Every structure is written in structure tokens, then in C-alpha cells.
Amino acid sequence: MAKEKISAQALIEIETRLGAHNYKPLDVVLVRGEGVWVWDIDGNRYLDCLAAYSAVNQGHCHPKIRAALVEQASRLSLTSRAFRNEQLPLFYEEICALTNSHKVLPMNSGAEAVETAIKAVRKWGYEVKGVPEDQAEVIVCENGFHGRTIAIVGFSTDPAARQGFGPFAPGFPIVAFGDADALEAAITPNTVAFLVEPIQGEAGVIIPPEGYLKRIREVCSRHNIMLVLDEIQTGLGRTGKLFAEEHEGIEADLTLVGKALSGGYYPISAVLSNTEVLGVLKPGEHGSTFGGNPLACAVARAAMRVLIEEGMIENAGKQGAYFLEELGKLRTNQVRDVRGSGLMIALELDEAVGGARRYSEALMKLGLLCKETHKDTLRFAPPLVITREQVDWALETIDKVLRAG
């Protein structure tokens, strides 16, 4: 006897009843994905303009990444780092060649990569720079987003992220994003690093002034502090370059990657670093049971390969520039600003419209999925495989919703 199909509403009710209410998702229940498209439980198709917060840059269910996952899963999934596996060194070799890195430390989530970088630069500060024990400072930015762990939310300026979760760890001075002078003024003899997103994603795709990355690179070098770029959202092609730092021709001391590193198939993140910083870590001082596991490494190798071989990064630059230009032409009385880099685009609405949620819900009903952030902003970040025709359809749909008010 065939199993009775559970309705979308029944599934939503189960999730609401049994799950913690720490998300407010749109009421669409997805069951399948391919490329830029996803389908709900009732067979309706949607253009995914969120790409799992840039974790699915390569498109949903990319066949070459899936093949690597299936092949490795049938052989060996996990050893822990108590033993060696054949995939980890090959992952190291390929990601270092791709990113011009000297050392790699693999973890599982973006937040773990951030925590790892904080630990590493603090230890470097004590052992190499000579900062007094327990006095190291890592400067961060207002409105930044780096994850949800206790240490990270402790230096968040978003009340929703930190309220009710204290007490928090000290050692994280906060400066304005996009202001290199503010960074320099905050540096003390105890400063070991500056942690920053090249573009603030969760804050609403906030792009710093031109020249900012070059200036902070110069400031960090002059004061002998490590520049840590969180490229977990901006990296791996999202902005039309492999990394957003390339738009200003700089190199960070540590670069944090995650999300699209597996093409959405399996959690993996990494700290990409110079030897000086990661060289301070000794056996037993940091680790993860799943970090660097053979399944994750095999998947990441395939995910990086298709980004390059299939021209996804170049396509992101080309389609993103067109998307942004044409979206700017759709301005109506509701729109305050349109901004972006590559396929990382924000449409900020005027406060008078009463928030962006109803617009994301209206777009969903017409077959386009995106998500509001910080109440008044809609983000558009489709997989990097999107075509010109698909961008045009998205533009027509967005225009229709804006004009409907």
C-alpha cells in the first residue's frame, strides 16, 4: 500500500510544533533542486535567488559534485584526524594552488573557521608578536556577521544576535565598517588582527568605499597585525572574482571560506593562511572530529573544480553586472537603493513601505525565492550558473511585484 503523502501545511505544522523557533522561513516546503531551480512538495517550480546564503554557488545538485560524493561515500566517509586519509592532502594541494595559500586548516562550518582564526591569531600574538598573555585584541566591525557562537555574538552589534546570551569574552574592539582611519585609531600594542567582511552580507550587502581594502591592508602591514578576511559568503566566485579581495588587488593574511566550498552537499570550511600564523598550532591545541574528513575533502575538490572548469566565476561577474544595472532601472517610489557586486545584490526599500517581508512573500507566489534581511532589504544571490534569460525573468517578476506595491 502506497504511503500517504503529507501535505505542505501538515509538515509546516510539525516543524512549528517540534522545532525551536529560531528561524522565520517562508512557507514553502522544498523537495527537489536542479541548477537555479527548486520545486516544492506540490510540484511548483521556483527560481532560487538565495542559493542557501551562497552555499550553492555551483547550482543545486551539480552532477559532478554529486558523483564525487557518492563515490567517496561508498569507500570511506570518516577517519577523524587520529589517522591520515588520501583525500585531505589532495584537498590541501588543490586549494593552495587555487588560492595562493601556504597553509590550510579545515573545519566544518563558517563559524568554526572564524573561531579557529581567532584562536590562531591570538596564539601568534603571544608567541610571535609578544603580546602579554590574555591581553590580545582582535578588532571587528559594526554590523558585521561572522556566525552564531558565543564568542562571535559577543562582538556582534545586532541586538537580536546577542541579547540574552551574555556574559561575553573581552578583547574585541568594534569600529565602523568602511572607515580605515577608525581602524588605525583603534590599534594598540595588544592588537593582533583585524577581522572583517569585504562586503557585509547579512547587514544587507553593504559595500565599503573604493580603496578601503587597499587601505586596511596597508594599515595592518604597517602595524604588524593580521588582516583576516571573512570570505565565507563573498568568496568562491560570488562577486565575480574568486575572492572579493581581488577587486582591489590585495591578499589577506588569513582568508576564511565555507558555504560554497562544498557546493551545498556537505559542511566544510577552511582557514587559508600564511605559514607564520597557522604554524603556531601544535598537536592537541585545536581540532575537530569531522574537520578534514575524506568525504568533505572529496566533495570540496569537485566543487572547486567545477567553479573553474565551467566558468562560473566569470558568469557571476557578467550576469551580476547586468542584473544590477537592469534592477537599477526598475526603481519605483518604494526603492531607496540598489547595490551589489557580482551576483551579491541588494534592493533596499523605503521604510515607509513597512518592511520587505511582504515583498519576499509576493515574489514567492510568482515563483521567485529570495529573503528579506534587516527588515527593509531584499537580497538576490542566485547560483552562479544563472543565464541571461533567467535573469530577465527575475527582473520581470521583481518589477511586477514592485509595481503592485
Which residues participate in catalysis according to the annotation? 145, 230, 259
The three state secondary structure string of the chain is: CCCCCCCHHHHHHHHHHHCCCCCCCCCCCEEEEEECEEEECCCCEEEECCHHHHCCCCCECCHHHHHHHHHHHCCCCCCCCCCCCCHHHHHHHHHHHHHCCCEEEEECCHHHHHHHHHHHHHHHHHHHHCCCCCCCEEEEECCCCCCCCHHHHHCCCCHHHHCCCCCCCCCCCEECCCCHHHHHHHCCCCEEEEEECCCECCCCCECCCCCHHHHHHHHHHHCCCEEEEECCCCCCCCCCCCCHHHHHCCCCCEEEECHHHHCCCCCCEEEEECHHHHCCCCCCCCCCCCCCCHHHHHHHHHHHHHHHHCCHHHHHHHHHHHHHHHHHHCCCCCEEEEEEECCEEEEEECHHHCCCHHHHHHHHHCCEECEEECCCEEEECCCCCCCHHHHHHHHHHHHHHHHHC
